[in-house]
Structures are given as C-alpha cells and as structure tokens.
Chains A and B, each alone.
Chain A
Amino acid sequence: MRSSRAPWILLGPGLVTALVALLPIGYLLVRTAEAGLERVADIILRERTLALVLRSLALAGTVTLLSLVIGVTLAILATRTNIPGRRLLAVTAALPLAIPSYVAAFAWISAFPAVSGFGGTVLVLTSCCYPYVYLPVVAAMRRIDPAVEEVARSLGRSPWNTFWSVTARQLRPAAASGALLVALYALSDFGAPSLLRFDTFTRVIYASYRSSFDRTAAAVLSLLLVVITVAITVAEARTRRGSERARVGGGVARRPHTVRLGALRWPAAAAAAVVVGVALVFPIASLLYWFATGLSAGVDLPHLATSAASTFWFSVLGAVVCTALAIPVGVLAARYRGRLTSFIEHASFAGHALPGIVVALALVFFGVRVAQPIYQRTPLLVIAYAVLFIPAAIGAVRAAVAMSPVRTEEAARSLGSTPWQVLRRVTLPLAAPGIGAGAALVLLTCMKELPATLLLRPTGTDTLATSLWTETGVAAYGAAAPYGLALVVLAVLPTLALMRSQRAGEAGLS
C-alpha cells in the first residue's frame, strides 16, 4: 500500500532539482515575452513551423521505436540466452554510447555521401541512442526475480506467454525511461541532423541564431519544443501506470534460466554483430582511418592529455551533481503519486529536448546577472550539465527504485526507521546498480557535450569535444581524429567498469 504523502526530506531536494531544471524555461519566457503576442503567433502559425514539428516528431518516433526494438532485443540476447559471444555482446552493445552522434554522422557521410536526409539521420541517431534503452533494460533484467517467471511457468504458461505477461511487464519501466531519453535526444540533437542535412526543429533553432541572430524566434520555437517534451513525458508516465508493483518477494536475485536458442543461435549472433558493426566498429574504423592519414602531421600529446583530463574532471563532477539531484526526484516518482510529485518529475524533464545552445544561453543570461563570480568557471558549467542531463539520471533512479520491493521499505518504517534511514539503508542500496547505470550515462553524455561547454567552460580550458570542434573547424580531420579516439576511449572505460560492477553485484547476490 502506498502512502499518499511524500516526506519533505524528498520533496525539498526534489523541488530544488525542479527549479534548476526550469532555469532555461524561465529564460525562454523572458525572451518570448519581449516579442509580443502578435510576433509569437506569427512564428508559431507559420506553415514551416508545423512542417518542422511533424518532421521532428517523425524522426524522434522512428528513432525511438527502432531503439526500443534493438535495445530490448540485445538486452535479452545478452542476459538470457546462449548466444555465441554473449559476454562480448553484453559489453560491446553498450559501447556505441561512447560515440558522439556528430562523429558517427561524419564517419558515415565521409565514406558514403549518399547517407543523408531522413534515412541517414535515423540510422545514425538509432545507432547512437539504442544503448539508452539497452543499458537500463539489462540492469532491470538482472534485478528481475526469476521466481515470478517460474511461478508463471509452473502454472502452465508457455515461455513466450511468460515473457510477455511477466518479464516484459517488469521491464516496462526501464524500457520506457530509456525510450523517453531516446525520444528527447532525437528531438534535441543538432550534430547528426545538421551534418546529414535533415531539417529538424533543432537545426532551425540554430539557424535562427546563426543567420539572423534572432533570439526571439529561437525562444518561441524552443518553448514549442518544451510543450512537445512535456506531452511526451506525460505520455511516458501514463505507460508506467499499473506496472509499478514490480516486485513482491524478498530482495534476493538468483541467476535466471538461460533460454536455449537452438538453431537460431548463429542467425541471432549475426544480427547482433551487424548492429554492433554499424554502431560501433564502423565509426571507430573511420576514426582510425582519419587518425592514420593525419599521423604525419603529428599529435599534440600534451594538449590531448590536458583536454582528456578536463573532460574527465568536468564529466565526473557533472555525473556526481546530476545523480545527487536526481535521487530525490527518482525516488519520489517511483514511490509517491501526487500533484507536487508529478510536477517535480515533469519539470525536471521539461528542458531535456532543448538544444544545447539554448540551455547554454539561458545559463549565460542567469550567470552574468546573478552568478557573476562563477560565470565561465567550473561550477556554472557543472550546473549546465545538470540542467541538460538530470533526466538521464532520474530515469535510471526511478526504474531502479520501482523494481525494488516496497515491502522491505515498509518493514523498515514499521520497525521505527526514519524516512532518511529507509532511504539510506534500504531504498538506495537496493537500487544502487540502477543508480550507478544512471551516473555512468550522465558521465558519458557530459563527455560528449559541446555547445554549452564551448560557451561556459573556464577560459583557456579545452575538453576533448571542444578540441575536436577546433580541429574540424579548419577541417583538419586527421588532426581531429586523436581527440575523437580519446573521447571514445575515455567514454568506454566507465562503461566497462559499469558492466563489471553489475556482474559483480549479481554474483554477490546469488
């Protein structure tokens, strides 16, 4: 049974998170208000605006659907089947997350100029985004209590029926939170659509800054994007309803049965290999090719090392702060229902589809006015990362908490623990693998971030992403490749550590 009132120990910090996440929207309202109703209506009612909404939604919808199919399928293959190379697949399937969409897009068009437009953008975004679904679903798979499936089987259900009615149901919160991130990423990404020349909302928002320096039109279009985002998050929250009571038994996970694929083993392995080949091997091979062609010019190793160090430092801070801000919201969203809770959750997601440049300018706006001492210094950059990437962490926390048994918390409360003690001793430890996955997601995403980093980084500091940008600005792709490779390597490490810790946790529990 759930309590209708959330404790203030969660609501207070949750409200702080929501306020941080709402900063860009405050800025957009200020800019839009300057325009006057007539101009706003004019921008929104343009024929082109409607076309853009539809194109962006078609892109986001297609990418989300494909990512769901690929992410869930690979997660099942990697955790529950006897597919050849299962362990290799489990790790490599997550790694495309380390590849920035602009690097993947460049890899494709430089090799195949015909890969462009809608199809090309879908290809690149899906191959970069499906791990957003894959990772939380793998984490959820490992937390599922196989006893429920065994009960279903013992009551006479077929394996397929058991999968759909029992397993899939328990995966739903994780898959939905991943799909939400994919949808919002596809809406907000600028790199891939711009390189592949597919006009989306984001591309036009950038164009209105670039071509006419028109901050009002950009703000109005951005607010429209916020409205779309809220609609999507509300829809996602609806799909979660009824699937929250995930776990009934004790908090012990056992190794589940492995599904024997039989004759399908090799075809399944081949399909998985194609996905990993397209999403991971091809972009890396392309980077290596450019690296080899640019090697003659020499690599600036000291600069590469300092860029890598600042990338790592900013991203770790970003991940720590995002996760800390996300925990109260994630726990609230998983455990309590109510207007305030729902406001906090949706507010935290509202700005997630905004292009990086919009969030960056919002923080410029607030930074120079109220936070001059930290403007263009590390703390403000970390706040920008928090605004941009809190939702990635919230989704992970929420899904992880939703999967741990409510009754254990209730037992702890009935034995006299305070909400804080329950959170610290029961809820968070049980949800730890999922929260870790969320922190890793944020870490990886921060590493790849470019627009906000460029405008808000401390003066004179380069990250791998900004160095990559500088080198490609003079189109020295050979000189840019080392930064791209370093970025991928740096992003691969936490992913590997994460997969390892999850396996260790699983072994420890069994």
Chain B
Amino acid sequence: MRRRLSLRPSLAGRRTIALASVALLGLGLSACGQDGEEPLSDEALVIYSGRNENLVAPVLEKLEDATGVDVQVRYGGSSELAAQLLEEGENTKADIFFSQDAGALGALGKADRLETLDPATTGKVIEGFADPKGHWVATSARARVIAYDPAQAPEVTDMTTVDAVLDPRYKGKIGYAPTNASFQSFVTALRVTKGEEGAKKWLEDFKANEPRAYDNNILVLDAVDSGQVALGLINHYYWYERVAEKGASSVNAKIHFLGSDDPGALINVAGAGILKGSNQKPSATKAIDYLLSKEGQQYFADETAEYPVVAGIESTKHDIVPLSELGRSSVDLNSLDSLEQTLALLDEVGLT
C-alpha cells in the first residue's frame, strides 16, 4: 500500500503552523508569565558579580544610595561571567564587572573591554593593588596561610617558607584543594619565584609527601580542625570566619602566616572594572569609589574577613594582621594570568 501524497497545501500549511504554534505558545506564555522579571535596564547601573551573592549582596545593596541610580546585579562564576562579557562584546548592558580574582579582570582588560579608571579611584588603594594600566582596581585581598593542628604540629609557628611542608614528617598529613583557584594562584607564584624547573621539583616533592586532596578550602579546614590532617593550605579568611561563627575556643585549628616573600604567603585580590561602552560611567565610578570608601572597606574587613586594600582601615570583628604589616609580596599579580601553564604543570606532575 502506498501513502497518498495528495496533501491539500493550504490545509497542510495551516496545520504546520498549528504545530509550530504549540512551541511558540510556550514561549509566549513564558514571556508574560513572570511578574517579577525585569530585563536589564539602560538607566540602571548593571553589575555582573563573580563574587558570591551571600558574601557581597549587603554591600552591593548600599550602592543605590551611594550612586543615586537603580542597581541591578547578576551573579555567576567570575570566569563564566568574563566569558559571557567577552561574548556580549559591545552589546553588553553591564556597566561594572566585580570579580573574585584578578585573572578574569585581566582577560577583559587584554580584550580591550575595560575602560581606564579615573586616577582618583585607582589612587585610593595601597600601591600595587591596582592594574598598572588602570583597567581595574582591587577591592579586597586575601592571603594564603598554613592552617595547622597545634596538637600534631606545634612547630608550624616557626615556619618561614612553604618549603617546610615538604618535610617527610608530614607525609600523608597535608590537606589541600587542588581545584581551588587560590591554590592554583599559589602554584603560579611558585613558578614566578622558583622558575619552571624549581616549581616542578617542588610539586613533585609535594606529591611524594602524599598530600590529601579535598574539594575546597572549607573541607581542608574541617580536616585540620578534626585532626585528620596536621596541615592545610588555605586562604586566611576561612579560619577567621570559622572563629567568628563558633568562637575561638571551639576552633582547634590555628593559622600561620609565612614570610612575605614566600609564594606560600601569596596575596590574591578581588576587584572591579568598568565595561567599555558603559552609559553609566559616572555612576559606575561612584559605585567603585563606594567599595573603596571607609564604609565599603569596613564591610570587607568585618563581614568577609578579607584585607582592606585602603590604608588605615582595621577590622572591628576579626583580629587580622593589617596588610601593611604583612609586607608586600614579591609576586606580580599580573603574572597570575599565566594560569594555563600552571594547569599544564599540575597535570604533568599529576596533582589534579
């Protein structure tokens, strides 16, 4: 039996449309379905934030008062948002990119997607905490530290260099988070200070010491705190937040800062830049100035336990050594965008 192919065209056409309209109906419904949904506005100050909503939403909410315009924030991962901004190009509605790390800002700067900031803005921060080309400025900083269990490793207080963790006595007793961006920055710092061969040797020795990999810094700190490992390589603020949350007496783990020239004491930054083509440049500048104001810096010092990047601000909640006393790290923050080679090296050594 053969199928009859005598379709009446008008009818078939109408029915094709009918079927297609089922799909369109869904889209049509959805367009008017969500009442609270507001598209990004040209009149508002639009911020793409790679920093976590739970950490920065309170300070970003204050920007409406500081700038006098509506503020709309989209949260995401720093590098995903950087990729999104690169794809959006000149069509972007974003005015500010607020990033968890310098690398993502550096990538946008390199692609000529960032405005040069007002020297009055970049001049607010401690020297070395703004992009030399003025594309972005750091808003807060974090230090790599060694967390340790005082019962198992009281001698950590005498450590001056991260090389000390290669001591065989810590075999199987070091916790680290290989996929964490701050750990990877530390490895980049190793490459910068020790050279490629030196860094490779360090990582091979580290691997031979059988470190235990965890998914993130919090779990590393958990492991140190419970005594599963003696040492952990983490960022400083995780410990301060733990202490603020549970009280100093309930936290068994302690942290130790290494010498300022050591890659193990690397300072990483979060920062912000203004997108090229932003039609809100004055408001955007005001917003970044607010993040660098006494109030804004106090927020980071108190609420996220990070280092303020403006001189003269001290945390009222956490007993944090001021950035100026830590001494300047010898590692150039801009060299941290050579992360690809770092990942290749980690892969080669087998620490992934």
A320 located at the interface, meaning its Cβ lies under 8 Å from any Cβ of chain B in the complex: yes
Given contacts A455-B80, A474-B54, contact A9 B16 (CB under 8 A): yes
- Residues of chain B within 8 A (CB-CB) of A372 are 91
Q: Chain A 364-396, CB within 8 Å of chain B: the 1/0 string? A: 110011001111111100110000000000000
- Residues of chain A within 8 A (CB-CB) of B92 are 368
Given contacts A207-B343, A475-B219, contact A454 B27 (CB under 8 A): no
A211 adjacent to B27 (CB under 8 Å): no
A9 adjacent to B212 (CB under 8 Å): no
Q: Which of B80, B88, B347 contacts A368 (CB 8 A)?
A: B88
B7 adjacent to A8 (CB under 8 Å): yes
A213 adjacent to B86 (CB under 8 Å): yes
- Residues of chain A within 8 A (CB-CB) of B84 are 360-361, 364, 455
The residue in chain B whose Cβ has the minimal distance to the Cβ of A417 is B4
A209 adjacent to B12 (CB under 8 Å): no
B218 located at the interface, meaning its Cβ lies under 8 Å from any Cβ of chain A in the complex: yes
Could you tell me the distance between the alpha carbons of A7 and B12 in the complex, rounded to whole angstroms?
9
A321 adjacent to B53 (CB under 8 Å): no
B38 adjacent to A473 (CB under 8 Å): no
Q: Which of A8, A9, A197, A458 contacts B179 (CB 8 A)?
A: A197
A212 located at the interface, meaning its Cβ lies under 8 Å from any Cβ of chain B in the complex: yes
| A455-482 at interface with B (beta carbon < 8 Å) | 455, 458-461, 470-471, 473-477
B72 adjacent to A459 (CB under 8 Å): yes
Which of A64-72, A106-114, A174-182, A234-242 is the contact stretch? A106-114
Q: Chain A 281-322, CB within 8 Å of chain B: the 1/0 string? A: 000000000000000000000000000001001000100110
> From residue A13, how far is it (CB to closest CB) to chain B in Å?
5
A197 adjacent to B80 (CB under 8 Å): no
Q: Which of A327, A357, A379 contacts B27 (CB 8 A)?
A: A379
> From residue A90, how far is it (CB to closest CB) to chain B in Å?
31
The residue in chain A whose Cβ has the minimal distance to the Cβ of B27 is A379
> From residue B351, how far is it (CB to closest CB) to chain A in Å?
10
Q: Chain A 1-39, CB within 8 Å of chain B: the 1/0 string? A: 101010111001100100000000000000000000000
| A69-112 at interface with B (beta carbon < 8 Å) | 106, 109-110
> From residue B329, how far is it (CB to closest CB) to chain A in Å?
21
B11 adjacent to A418 (CB under 8 Å): yes
Given contacts A368-B88, A376-B39, A454-B80, contact A473 B7 (CB under 8 A): no
B15 adjacent to A420 (CB under 8 Å): yes
> From residue B275, how far is it (CB to closest CB) to chain A in Å?
13
A510 located at the interface, meaning its Cβ lies under 8 Å from any Cβ of chain B in the complex: no
- Residues of chain B within 8 A (CB-CB) of A212 are 107, 337, 339-340
B20 adjacent to A16 (CB under 8 Å): yes
The residue in chain A whose Cβ has the minimal distance to the Cβ of B90 is A368
The residue in chain A whose Cβ has the minimal distance to the Cβ of B89 is A368
| A185-240 at interface with B (beta carbon < 8 Å) | 194-195, 197, 199, 207-215
B52 adjacent to A215 (CB under 8 Å): no
Could you tell me the distance between the alpha carbons of A71 and B179 in the complex, rounded to whole angstroms?
33
- Residues of chain A within 8 A (CB-CB) of B73 are 459-460
B151 located at the interface, meaning its Cβ lies under 8 Å from any Cβ of chain A in the complex: no
A475 adjacent to B217 (CB under 8 Å): yes
Q: Show 25 residue pairs from A and B whose CB-CB distance is below 8 angstroms, ordered by the A residue.
A: A3-B2, A7-B5, A8-B7, A9-B12, A9-B15, A106-B215, A110-B215, A113-B212, A113-B214, A194-B179, A211-B339, A325-B23, A328-B19, A364-B87, A375-B39, A376-B40, A376-B74, A379-B30, A383-B27, A410-B3, A455-B80, A470-B52, A473-B54, A475-B217, A477-B218
- A residues bordering B, Cβ < 8 Å? 1, 3, 5, 7-9, 12-13, 16, 48, 106, 109-110, 113, 116, 194-195, 197, 199, 207-215, 310, 313, 317, 320-321, 324-325, 327-328, 357, 360-361, 364-365, 368-369, 372-379, 382-383, 410, 413-414, 418-420, 451, 454-455, 458-461, 470-471, 473-477
